[in-house]
Amino acid sequence: MSTKLLFENIDEPGLHTLDVYRRRGGYAMAEQALAMARDSLVTALKDSGLRGRGGAGFPMGLKASFIPQGKMDKYLVCNADESEPGTFKDRELMQKNPHSLIEGMIIAAYAVGANKAFIFIRGEYVQQAEILEAAIAEAKQAGLLGPNVLGRGVDLDMWVHRGAGAYICGEETGLLDALEGRRGNPRLKPPFPANQGLYQGPTLINNVETLTAIPYILRIGAEAYAGLGVEKSSGTKLISVSGNVKRPGNYEIELGMTGRDIIYGLAGGIEDDREVLLWFPGGSSSPVLTKDDLDTVYAYDELAAAGTMLGSGAIIVVDDRHSVVDVAVKTASFYKHESCGKCTPCREGTSWTTKLLQRIQIGEATPMDLDVISSVCDQIMGNCLCVLGDAMAMPVASMVTKFRPQFEQHLERARSENEARLLAELQTTEPVLLGAGALASQH
């Protein structure tokens, strides 16, 4: 059985209240951290090997160490705009254990010297935002937030900022623009948010799961945390399994299990005991894997070696009742809808890929269009300010490459069906125009 940290007894009644959280030893780590030197906290975070849990997997301690020292206004932003299709781990954490996130944010804010913190939560999470707001109010009441946190002379102001429904606001610079009250268009990097982020000040942005993990790392010690999982993918990770599995939901695992262990072990296997057609290992933005890849080790570097990525840890399983064409159309049209329109390759590329895929779906394309899709995807990748375009191009290109025979079969079948239908229509329709010859022949 793998170690549980973040999910340990998460359904304890009343855990979202300060009383119960305190009874479980909550905020003790915040007190301990505030007594430590900032450098040693950042070093502890580096030693733990914690990698950003939002999708990019960037080492958290390293990111914190990029925040410049000095007496300028610095900000901490929690990215709770969990919009990656298939991902729903942060929702569970915020709803059931909001104080753990607040404690992690107190520690992170202290480590980088930020005195203003925002939780950017997606607007759809209405109930979760209310729970968080109540938890923050409780913490403020108890002197854990606000001026002079825990009597240590540190100020920390924290607010929940609700978004209004845009996938792009999960991208860190898009999120900053949305938080500044603008359209959520990503910015050119560099400068990175660590130097010039929110209101042009140094800003540390981390995912909910990353920040929630901090108190647990301090509790068990950075070395013990680094000892969990496998090398370079240390610690526990929350994974969200969804799609055609028997037990969809969130699971906490130590990285290093295989895909088969997760899908057939934790999630109980495929509904109606079907076969896996394909699976997304890290949200809908990750290149797909097939049933031959089920034994791939589920960890950052191992998945990268298999040509895909761990991303946000969202596994979507598609069984063999479904057509890969439909999955590709769904994926592409999502990114088409969510593209902010700032960069041309993404705006036009997602739109044209969707159109081409829809033509394949209804049988109005040729196999050559598959090559056009691959070429369009190639031209999107790496050519935009953010990775939204890449996030469409990678899974779609991988589907077209790995399932080319299925695409061609579908195309042939749909085309012949169309032809048969048109032919049948022609035969049942009365002749509309009778030519002079036809009239002549009747006499």
Residues 146-165 that bind other proteins (CB under 8 A): 159, 161-165
257-296 residues in contact with other proteins (CB under 8 A) are 266, 280, 284
Q: Could you say which residues in the range 219-258 bind other proteins, by CB under 8 A?
A: 240-244, 247-252
Among 41, 107, 179, 228, binds other proteins (CB under 8 A): 179
Question: Does 53 participate in binding other proteins (rule CB under 8 A)?
Answer: no
Residues 6+ apart with CB under 8 A from 428: none
Site residues (CB under 8 A) for other proteins, limited to 362-381: none
Tokens describing residue 233: 């993918």
Residue 178 binds to other proteins (criterion: CB under 8 A): yes
Toward other proteins, which CB reaches closer, 8 or 417?
A: 8
Stretch of 64-72, 312-320, 354-362, 408-416 contacting other proteins, by CB under 8 A: 312-320
In the complex with other proteins, the residue whose CB is nearer, 138 or 319, is: 319
Sign of the torsion formed by the C-alpha atoms of 227, 233, 239 and 242: negative
Site string for other proteins, 324-363 (x = CB under 8 A): ---x--xx--x--xx-x-----------------------
Contact call for residue 122 and other proteins (CB under 8 A): yes
The window from 32-40, 106-114, 178-186, 294-302 that contacts other proteins (CB under 8 A) reads 178-186
How would you write the chain as a 3-class SS string?
Answer: CCCCCCCCCCCCCCCCCHHHHHHCCCCHHHHHHHCCCHHHHHHHHHHHCCECCCCCCCEHHHHHHCCCCCCCCCEEEEEECCCCCCCCHHHHHHHHCHHHHHHHHHHHHHHHCCCEEEEEECCCCHHHHHHHHHHHHHHHHCCCCECCHHHCCCCEEEEEEECCCCHHHHCHHHHHHHHCCCCCCCCCCCCCCCCCCHHHCCEEEEEHHHHHHHHHHHHHCHHHHHHCEECCEECEEEEEEEECECCCEEEEEECCCEHHHHHHHHCCCEHHHCCEEEEECCCCCCCCEEHHHCCCECCHHHHHHCCCCCCCCEEEEEECCCCHHHHHHHHHHHHHHHCCCCCHHHHHHHHHHHHHHHHHHCCCCCCHHHHHHHHHHHHHCCCCCCCHHHHHHHHHHHHHHHCHHHHHHHHHHHHHHHHHHHHHHHHHCCCCCCCHHHHHHHC
Q: Would you count residue 205 as binding other proteins (CB under 8 A)? A: no
- Supply the minimum distance, in Å, between the C-beta of residue 334 and other proteins: 6
209 binds other proteins (CB under 8 A): no
The 7-46 site mask, x for binding other proteins (CB under 8 A), equals xxxxxxx---------------------------------
In the bound complex, what is the minimum distance in angstroms from residue 85's beta carbon to other proteins?
4
When binding is defined by CB under 8 A, the residue of 166, 211, 299, 325 that contacts other proteins is: 166
Min dist CB 318 to other proteins, Å, is 6
Considering only 63-71, 136-144, 180-188, 385-393, which stretch makes contact with other proteins by CB under 8 A? Answer: 180-188
Number of residues located near other proteins, criterion CB under 8 A = 72
Nearer to other proteins, 178 or 194 (CB): 178
Stretch of 6-14, 64-72, 137-145, 435-443 lying at the interface with other proteins (CB under 8 A): 6-14
Nearer to other proteins, 6 or 222 (CB): 6
